[in-house]
Chain A
Amino acid sequence: MELALSPEDAAFRDEVRAFIAENYPAEMRVPNPETDLTKEQSLLWHRILHKKGWIAPLWPKEYGGPGWSITRRFIFEQETSRAGTLPPLAFSVTMVGPVIYTFGNEAQKKKFLPRILSGEDWWCQGYSEPGSGSDLATVRTKAVRDGDHYIVNGHKTWTTLAQHADWIFCLVRTDPNAKPQSGISFLLIDMKSPGVTVRPIITIDGSHEVNDVFLENVRVPAENLIGEENKGWTYAKFLLGNERTSMAGIGRSTRYINKLKQIVEAEVPSDDPMHLDFQREIALVELDVLALEATELRVVAQMARGIDPGPAASLFKIRGTEIFQRITELTHRAIGSCGLALREQPVSANHFMPGHEYGHTAAEKYLNSRKLSIYGGSNEIQRNIIAKAVLGL
């Protein structure tokens, strides 16, 4: 299914496609790019896109964006996702970058934006806390003004890839007496500051993706405050809106379905009744993808005509994550008993894995993707958003 493209946009699509084919680094093509690459390896594609001027499709031209139309941004997203390229770090480019150029001052823009674009700074997100998950407005990490500094104390958690991060953007409480939403500020903290400690959290797939971040008497220059004190909730919501944009994940789901079909053909004899069962299940999830893709294209076409999509992002997040969870579950089922094995982390060629190579990441992907319906605003929160914004409930 394709968006109806003008000749210019079709040429742009071909250009993107050719650029990926010629420039995507071979050493990033590993069984599971999300866990198997070093920090340096995972930045290779980022740097190539930066050199090309394509690293930040969302950004306005004046801050280093390519100045693409909505349609071109969508084409780029579609092509990179179909080709299975590792997306540039969302926390930097998609999340904190737009907050800085929208709400930051000139000095902050000058200091941070170029380093985000180049990949010099790796950012992580200090939102969740042990007591504040879906109910983010209750964050308790405290920032107390002390002359030109804030003294920050608290505990952030589920911090993705904090082990690589140079900076963390944090929601901190600056007014303990205000209502939950109105006492929060948005603060940028250097991870090398004294008092910042990172502790790994190992998830059920065995990987080290998320962390606890402890902040003990961390001195943060007041110039690192974004916008106004106690207005952080506004910036946080703005950021969450960006986080949920491209979550339909059509390209990725399509690739995983194609792989699933190959695995089923190799693993399940065609005279086994399970073969038909798999075919049926695959057809159903394929149709879920098709309907979501048609919806995404409909929304993109509407946006290109200037129509506000409303909380379409919540719909994409809910369905995109449900679909991908289903695909990884079916893939794990398709490899049968070999699904008992889980790759050891950190990954090494010396570890033995039973069965065919195509199944070696099935278990970890199945386990890891359970997170999808929880993070970025759980799917229940997304349903609350639609209930309120669309249904008026």
Chain B
Amino acid sequence: MDIQFTEEQELLRSSIQRLLRDQYDFEARRKIVADEQGFSHRQWAAFAELGLLAAPFAEDAGGLGGGPLSTMIIAHEFGRHLVVEPFVETVVLAGGLIERLGDTVQKQAFIPDIVDGKKIWTLAWTEKGGRFDLADVTTTARRESDDYVLSGGKTAVIAAPWADYLVVSARTSGSRKDHGGVSLFVVDRRAAGVDLQSFKTIDGRRAAEISLRNVRGQLLGKEGEGLAALEACRDRAIGALCAEAVGAMGELNSATLEYSKTRKQFGTTIGSFQVLQHRMVDMFIAHQEALSLMQHLNLSISGGEAGLSRLASGAKTKIGYAAKFVADQAVQLHGGMGMTDELNVGHYFKRISSINIQFGDPAFHVLRYARFGAAA
């Protein structure tokens, strides 16, 4: 159950660690976030060169065949460094859907450009009022000769302002919340009729409200296959997001422990106070448990095990609450410093808050997990 990493996986991990240590410290990240574009093409190219954007794809699709475990390793390190570039959006979400649903022509057209870092993608599934329901889709897609024409809107689509292409969920039949009739489309973000209102996210990234007015889209997979694909995509996204959260938790714990050993009040280091020691032990335990569950989930994704989706919801819940606890306490124990923009602690806090919202918050997933249990 404990992952004993293969030599290749260890190599992957240490090479990411080296790259991020050299090029992606907190100051470098601050500059990237403050830049007008909000992300770094140079970093993206470096990720591509290192093979990170190829890692999870199957070898016959032009990838390195590392699967979900390589995603976990990458996301974990990215979480530790608060990487803003859209790895999950491009590779795990859009890339994963293209690999699963795309025909040979589509795979050949899109995956090599992802792997080479030439094109950035994201997935547009959220709609206003739909909260976390993948089936809550009112955007429509109408067939017109060989193509489809999409109309509707998507909300809070992370990385959309950076993206060259979007994977968009839209209805080819049925009505809002129907499980049938959801299909997925490839849309050129610069196509006529696509309109973006961009904004900054709490964790220093970029997102957009998207309106689609008679936009040309290319069907990915078959009509009506969208929901099942989105569900599987969500499971994998959760595997990656949980790994990011666990990476962030580890950094928060180290920073807090370090601070408690140097910060003095009442004539002694605050780490000598038992109430804070016990708090940090609980933070340590929360991190250990989250790490175990992260590995368990990603091994299950890797093995395509039955009951995977329930487990994904369970992990999103448990790791979400654990990460929130650690983030809350890290800020609290840093006192006023934890509130400052200058220190990285608040930025980890915001990253965890953002992760907890994406693809459903812990409160949503605990009920989803419970309903699976009732059905079993």
A and B found bound together: yes
Query: Complex: how many Å from CA A378 to CA B147?
Result: 68
In the complex, the answer to whether A383 meets B277 with C-beta atoms within 8 Å is yes
CB-defined interface of A363-393 with B at 8 Å, one 1/0 digit per residue? 0000000000000000010011011001111
Residue B373 lies at the interface, judged by CB distance under 8 Å to chain A:
yes
Main secondary structure of the interface of B (DSSP, over half): helix
Whether B281 pairs with A391 at a CB distance below 8 angstroms is yes
Interface size for B (C-beta < 8 A) is 35
- Which of the four size classes fits the interface of chain A? 35 or more
B residues 10-45 with Cβ under 8 Å of A? none
B142 within 8 A of A: no
Assembly CA distance A301 to B2 (angstroms): 6
SS of A interface (majority): helix
Q: In whole angstroms, how far apart are the Cα atoms of A261 and B373 in the complex?
A: 10
* B272 adjacent to A286 (CB under 8 Å): no
A266 at the B interface (CB under 8 A): no
Is the C-beta of B293 less than 8 angstroms from some C-beta in chain A?
yes
- Knowing A4-B1, A294-B1, A298-B2, say if A280 contacts B367 (CB, 8 Å): yes
> Which residues does chain A contribute within 8 Å of B295, judged by CB atoms?
294, 298
Task: Kindly supply a per-residue 1/0 record for chain B positions 289-321, scoring 1 wherever the CB is within 8 Å of any chain A CB and 0 otherwise.
Answer: 111110110000000000000000010011000
Question: In the docked arrangement, what's the CA distance between A279 and B370, Å?
Answer: 6
For B288, the closest partner residue in chain A by CB is A295
Q: Given A294-B289, A383-B277, A386-B284, decide whether A1 and B318 contact each other with a Cβ distance below 8 A.
A: no
- Contact status B292-A287, CB under 8 Å: no
Q: Which residues of A contact B318 (CB under 8 A)?
A: 287-288, 290-291
Q: How many A-B residue pairs have CB under 8 A?
A: 109
User: Cβ of A294: which chain B residues have Cβ within 8 Å of it?
Assistant: 1, 289, 292-293, 295-296
Q: Complex formed: what's the CA distance from A390 to B287 in Å?
A: 13
Residues in A neighbouring B79, C-beta threshold 8 A: none
Task: Contact check, B1 vs A384: say whether CB atoms are below 8 A apart.
Answer: no
Q: Which residues of B contact A386 (CB under 8 A)?
A: 281, 284-285
B1 touches A297 (CB 8 A): yes
Mark A260-299 against chain B: 1 for CB-CB distance below 8 A, else 0.
0100000000000000100110111011101110110111
Contact A391 B284 (CB under 8 A): yes
- CB contact between B274 and one of A283, A319, A384, A390 (< 8 Å): that residue: A384
B4 touches A305 (CB 8 A): yes
CB-defined contacts of A4 to chain B, threshold 8 Å: 1
Q: Is B370 in contact with A282, judged by CB distance below 8 angstroms? A: yes
Cβ of A315 within 8 Å of any chain B Cβ, yes or no, is: yes
- Cβ-closest chain A residue relative to B256: A391
Question: How far is A370 from B280 in the complex, measured between Cα atoms in Å?
Answer: 24
- The answer to whether B374 has its CB under 8 Å from any CB of chain A is yes
Task: Check if B296 sits within 8 Å of A1, measured CB to CB.
Answer: yes
- Determine if B222 is an interface residue (Cβ-Cβ < 8 Å): no
User: CB < 8 Å: which of A3, A291, A390 contacts B292?
Assistant: A291
A302 within 8 A of B: yes
Per the bound structure, the CA–CA distance linking A204 and B82 in Å amounts to: 51
* Docked pose: A390 CA to B260 CA in angstroms: 14
For A283, the chain B residues whose CB sits under 8 A away are 314, 317, 366-367, 369-370, 373
Decide yes or no whether B128 CB sits under 8 A from chain A: no
Report the Cα distance A229→B292, complex, angstroms.
44
CA gap between A209 and B253 in the complex, in Å: 41
Given contacts A1-B1, A280-B366, 11 further A-B contacts (CB under 8 A): A3-B1, A279-B374, A283-B367, A284-B317, A290-B296, A298-B2, A302-B2, A383-B277, A383-B282, A390-B284, A393-B261
Could you list some 26 contacts between A and B, CB below 8 A?
Answer: A1-B296, A3-B1, A279-B367, A283-B317, A283-B367, A283-B370, A284-B317, A291-B289, A291-B290, A291-B318, A292-B289, A294-B1, A294-B295, A294-B296, A295-B288, A297-B1, A298-B2, A298-B291, A302-B2, A305-B4, A383-B278, A387-B277, A391-B257, A393-B257, A393-B260, A393-B261
